[in-house]
Structure formats: C-alpha cells, structure tokens
Amino acid sequence: MDQPLAFIGSSQPMGFFALIIIGGLAGWIAGMILGSRHWIFTNILIGVAGSYVGSELAQMANFGLRNSLDHFLAALVGSIIVLWIWRALHPAGVPPQNRF
C-alpha cells in the first residue's frame, strides 16, 4: 500500500521556475479568496509554503500529484491554509508590540 491511490496525468515533478510561477499564482488567488492583499514576493513565498503544505496533505491523503494542475490545486489549498493560520496568529488591527 505504498503507492498513491490516484494519479492524474503523467508529467515529471515541477522545476524551480514552475514552482515560482505556480506558487505566485496560488498565493495571489489565496489572498483574493481570503481578502488579503500582498506584494508579489509575499505571494510567491505564501504560494511556495502553501505548495509544501498542500503536497504534504496530498501525500497524507494518499494522492499523487503528477501535473501542473495538480500541483497548482495543492498549492492553492495549502496557501489558503497558510494564510488562514497566519491571520489567526496575527489578527488585523492589533499593533505589534515594541520589543525594546
């Protein structure tokens, strides 16, 4: 039972530039869904972190990610989770405390 239950498509794993593009799009769309506005660099970081979270969740659910659409959907779901957790830990309107 080591093999994933589902594979969609048959492409190779994503490359670095594909990860940046898919991560940026996923981070931007996740921000639009949750109503958060960020700069492009932040969207890419959120999307890359979301891609990791989404691919780990897919692996835990025993689904294989084989093409760009699968990776994008996993990154989008993961990005939404990452943004939701970030917003729960850092509520809007609460000023950061001065540490000095």
Please indicate, yes or no, whether the overall pTM of this predicted structure exceeds 0.85.
no
Closest Cα to residue 30, out of 78, 70, 68?
78
Q: Using alpha carbons, select from 52, 56, 47 the residue that is nearest to residue 21.
A: 47
Tell me the domain boundaries of the chain: 21-64+73-89
DSSP string, 64-100: E--SHHHHHHHHHHHHHHHHHHHHHHS-TT-PPPP--
pLDDT digits (tens, 9 = 90+) for 15-58: 778 778 888 899 899 989 988 877 888 888 888 899 889 888 98
